[in-house]
C-alpha cells in the first residue's frame, strides 16, 4: 500500500516510504498482523507500551461503557469525573511516594515531561526560591518530543536541529554522579530546579544504571536541594518487574512522569505523580499558589476508564510478577547472541527490556546495516527497531511466553546471519 497520499509519519523519510509502508491492522496478545494477514511477534510492545498485550476486549468494553455515559469532559478548575478521581487514587496508592498527588496529562509522556518541568519551576517559585530554574538531564536521555523533552534529550540527532528551545538546561554523563554534583555546583545549587532521570535509559539504547549510580545521584540532589524527577514513562507500571522502576531500583523521587503502561496504549494518557513536598504549596488550604497548567484532555474520562481497566488486568493476572519470572528467560535467550561477530554487547538484567548492540566497526563500515537488520528480523516474523542507530530493541508485552521470547532471539540471530 502506498501511504504517501497524506499521512506524514513520525521519524520517517517520507520521500522514501513509497512501497515500504507496513499497515498493521489487528493484534492479539504479543502478536500483530499486517493487512495481508501475516503475523508478527511484537518484540517491542509497539513503542514500549502494549504491556497487557493487544486485543483485550474488556478494555474496549470499558471504553465503550464510559463513552456511553460521558465520553469526555474537562477537568480545569473544579470539574472532575469519577474515572479520573478513581484512577488518581489508585495510581497514588501504587506509587512509592506516600501522599502523592496525580496530575493527568493528555497526549502521553511528552506532556508529562513538560508538566514536570514547569511544575518544578512553579514549586520553587511557590516556596520563595524563583531563581531555581535550571533543569539537568543526561546523555542518552529520551524525554519525549515536546519542547521541554526535546531540550532535555541526550540523543544529539533528536535535539540539534531544533535548538535552542527551552533555556537553562544542562546535560551530564548518564552514569556519573560526580559529574552531576560538579554541574550543579558550577551552576550554583541555588539556581538548579530539578534533575531528570530515566531509571533505565530506554530509547537511548537500554542502559541499566551502574551499581550505586541512582542512589548516589539521589544523594547529590538531596544534599543540594534539587528535585529528583524519575521519568518512568517506559518503566512505570511493571516493565522493570515492580510497579515502578524507582521502587525496584531503590530511589524515592520527588516526582515521576508516567504514560504508556498507564493504559497499555489503549488510550493516550499520561501523568505527573508529585510527591508530598512538591504538592504541598499548591494543596495547602488557603494557598494562593495555583499551577496554571493543564490540557484540554487532562483527566479524560474515557482514557481514565481505560487506565482503570488496564490496572485491573495487570493486577488480576499478576503481570508485574510475571515480568520478574520472565527475566531469566530473557537473559538466557538473548545472551546467546553475544557471541555473534556482529554483536558488541547484549544488555539485559532487570525487567522485560533489553538491547542487542551491533559493533561500531560494522555500523561505521555500513551505515545501512541496522535498518537492514531490523528488516531482516521482520522478514523472520518479529517486529523490533533500531535504538540510536546502534542496537535492536527488546521490550515485549508482559504476556509474551518463554517460547515466544526464544522465537524473538532466533529471529534476531537469523537476521544477524542474513546481514553479516
Ligand atoms: C522515557 C520517556 N519519556 C518520555 C517519552 C515521551 O512519551 P510520548 O511519546 O508518549 O510523548 C518517552 C517515549 O518513548 C520515553 O521513553
Domains in the chain: boundaries: 14-55+318-419, 59-316
**Burial class, 37, CB count within 10 angstroms (exposed 0-12 / middle 13-18 / buried 19+):** exposed
Cell of 84: 479520573
Q: Is the dihedral of CA 250, 47, 269, 172 positive or negative?
A: positive
326 Cβ below 6 A of ligand 1: no
Architecture of domain 59-316: 3-Layer(aba) Sandwich (3.40)
Give the separation between CA 177 and CA 117, rounded to whole angstroms.
Answer: 21
Q: Is residue 234 in contact with ligand 1, taking CB distance under 6 Å?
A: yes
CA of 143 to the centre of ligand 1 (A): 5
Encode 406-415: b = buried (16+ Cβ within 10 Å), e = exposed.
ebbbbbbbeb
3-state secondary structure of 281: helix
**Structure confidence at residue 98 (pLDDT):** 96
Q: Which of 141, 150, 121, 250 shows the shortest CA–CA distance to 205? A: 141
Instruction: Quote the CA–CA distance of 62 and 148 in Å, as a whole number.
Output: 33
DSSP characters over 124-181? HHHTT-TT--EEEEETT----SSHHHHHH---HHHHGGG-S-SSSEEEE-TT-HHHHH
Mutate to test the pocket of ligand 1, among 144, 149, 257 (most ligand atoms within 8 A of CB): 144
| pLDDT(33) > 90 | yes
Tens of pLDDT, residue by residue over 124-151, are 999 999 999 999 999 999 999 999 999 9
> Residue 235 CA: which ligand 1 atom is closest?
1
Phi/psi at 201 (5° precision): -60, 130
In the block, which residue shows the cell 515466544? 404
For the chain, percent of residues with pLDDT exceeding 90: 96
* Interval 349-394: pLDDT, tens: 999 999 999 999 999 999 999 999 999 999 999 999 999 999 999 9
Cα-to-centroid distance, 233 and ligand 1 (Å): 6
Instruction: Give first-to-last CA distance, the chain, whole Å.
Output: 30
Q: What is the whole-number distance in angstroms between the Cα of residue 14 and the centre of ligand 1?
A: 23
Indicate whether residue 203 lines ligand 1 (CB < 6 A).
yes
Query: How many helices (H) does the chain have, and how many strands (E)?
Result: 15, 15
The finding on whether 63 has its CB within 6 A of some atom of ligand 1 is no
The mean pLDDT value for 3-20 works out to: 87
- Confidence check: pLDDT of 248 > 60: yes
Q: How confident is the model at residue 4 (pLDDT cuts 50, 70, 90)?
A: low
Q: Which of 110, 209, 258 to mutate to test the pocket of ligand 1 (most atoms within 8 A of CB)?
A: 110
Does the structure show a pLDDT above 90 at 107? no
Residue 243 has pLDDT above 70, yes or no: yes
For residue 237, which of 142, 144, 311 has the smallest C-alpha distance?
311
Whole-number Å distance between alpha carbons of 144 and 113:
7
Q: Say what the pTM is.
A: 0.98
Question: Whose CA is closest to atom 12 on ligand 1?
Answer: 144
Atom of ligand 1 nearest to the CA of 47: 14
Pocket test for ligand 1, best of 115, 197, 234, 257 (most atoms within 8 A of CB): 234
- Give the single-character DSSP code of 24: E
* Nearest of 167, 278, 284 to residue 226 by alpha carbon: 278
Q: From the CA of 149, give the closest atom in ligand 1.
A: 4
Question: What is 14-55+318-419's CATH number, 3.40.50.300, 3.40.50.11890, 3.40.220.10, 3.90.1150.10?
Answer: 3.90.1150.10
**263 CA from centroid of ligand 1 (Å):** 14
For residue range 193-230, list pLDDT tens digits in order.
999 999 999 999 999 999 999 999 999 999 999 999 99
Amino acid at each position: 500500500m502506498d501511504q504517501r497520499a497524506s499521512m506524514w509519519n513520525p521519524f520517517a523519510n517520507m520521500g522514501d516510504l513509497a512501497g515500504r509502508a507496513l499497515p498493521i491492522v489487528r493484534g492479539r496478545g504479543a502478536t500483530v498482523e499486517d493487512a495481508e494477514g501475516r503475523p508478527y511477534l511484537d518484540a517491542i510492545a509497539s513503542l514500549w507500551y502494549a504491556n497487557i498485550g493487544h486485543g483485550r476486549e474488556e478494555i474496549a468494553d470499558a471504553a465503550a461503557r464510559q463513552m456511553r455515559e460521558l465520553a469526555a469532559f474537562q477537568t480545569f478548575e473544579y470539574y472532575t469525573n469519577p474515572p479520573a478521581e478513581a484512577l488518581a487514587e489508585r495510581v497514588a496508592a501504587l506509587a512509592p511516594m506516600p501522599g502523592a498527588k496525580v496530575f493527568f496529562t493528555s497526549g502521553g509522556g511528552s506532556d508529562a515531561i513538560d508538566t514536570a518541568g514547569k511544575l518544578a519551576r512553579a514549586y520553587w517559585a511557590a516556596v520563595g526560591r524563583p531563581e531555581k530554574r535550571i533543569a539537568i538531564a543526561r546523555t542518552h536521555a529520551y524525554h519525549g518530543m515536546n519542547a521541554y523533552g526535546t531540550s532535555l534529550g541526550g540523543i544529539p540527532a533528536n535535539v540539534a536541529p531544533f535548538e535552542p528551545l527551552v533555556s537553562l538546561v544542562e546535560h551530564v554523563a548518564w552514569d556519573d554522579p560526580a559529574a552531576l554534583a560538579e554541574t550543579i555546583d558550577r551552576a550554583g545549587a541555588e539556581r538548579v530546579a530539578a534533575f531528570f532521570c530515566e531509571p533505565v535509559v530506554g530509547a537511548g539504547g537500554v542502559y541499566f544504571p551502574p551499581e550505586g549510580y541512582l542512589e548516589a545521584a539521589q544523594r547529590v540532589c538531596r544534599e543540594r536541594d534539587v528535585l529528583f524527577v524519575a521519568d518512568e514513562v517506559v518503566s512505570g507500571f511493571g516493565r522493570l518487574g515492580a510497579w515502578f522502576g524507582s521502587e525496584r531500583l531503590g530511589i524515592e523521587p520527588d516526582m515521576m512522569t508516567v504514560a504508556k503502561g498507564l493504559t497499555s496504549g489503549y488510550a493516550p494518557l499520561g501523568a505527573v505523580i508529585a510527591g508530598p513536598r512538591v504538592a504541598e504549596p499548591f494543596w495547602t488550604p488557603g494557598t494562593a499558589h495555583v499551577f496554571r497548567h493543564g490540557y484540554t484532555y487532562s483527566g479524560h474520562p474515557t482514557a481514565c476508564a481505560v487506565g482503570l481497566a488496564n490496572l485491573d488486568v495487570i493486577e488480576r493476572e499478576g503481570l508485574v510478577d510475571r515480568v520478574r519470572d520472565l527475566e531469566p528467560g530473557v537473559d538466557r535467550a538473548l545472551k546467546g547472541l553475544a557471541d555473534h561477530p556482529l554483536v558488541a554487547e547484549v544488555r539485559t538484567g532487570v525487567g522485560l527490556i533489553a538491547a542487542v548492540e551491533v559493533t561500531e566497526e560494522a555500523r561505521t563500515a555500513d551505515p545501512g546495516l541496522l535498518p537492514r537488520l531490523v528488516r531482516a528480523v521482520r522478514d523472520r516474523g518479529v517486529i523490533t527497531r533500531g535504538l540510536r542507530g546502534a542496537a535492536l530493541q527488546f521490550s515485549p508485552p508482559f504476556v509474551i511466553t518463554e517460547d515466544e521470547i526464544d522465537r524473538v532471539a532466533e529471529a534476531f540471530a537469523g537476521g544477524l546471519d542474513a546481514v553479516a
